[in-house]
Amino acid sequence: MMSGFETRFAAEDDADKIRAAFYGFVSRHADVADGPANLSTEFDGQGSRLMVRLWSAEALSAFLSGLDKPDRRRCYE
């Protein structure tokens, strides 16, 4: 099991935009990252979802604040 803080994005979210935002965010913060930064696709009975995992709650909050829909608390697991 990997540590970190994560959220998931549904199929109706723009996967390409989320991927670009993720890689840009990780690149800009590489010097302060002290844990995992992962982006993966999950498949279940509801379709595919993108899972973003970052090294801290602060990093995840900063990442989400840069998206069109920054309030993703419903997705935290």
What pLDDT score was predicted for residue 70?
54
Residue 75 resides in a domain: no
> pLDDT digit of tens for each residue in the chain (77 aa)?
567 899 989 877 888 999 999 999 999 999 999 998 999 999 988 788 899 999 999 999 999 988 876 555 444 44
Residue 76 resides in a domain: no
Residue 14 resides in a domain: yes
Determine the structural domain holding residue 13 and report its residue range. 5-70
Return the axis-axis angle of helices 57-65 and 15-28, rounded to nearest 10°: 130
pTM of the model: 0.81
Residue 77 resides in a domain: no
> How many domains does one find in the chain?
1
Contact of 42 with 60, CB cutoff 8 Å: no
Enumerate residues 6+ apart whose C-beta is below 8 A from 72.
7, 9, 64
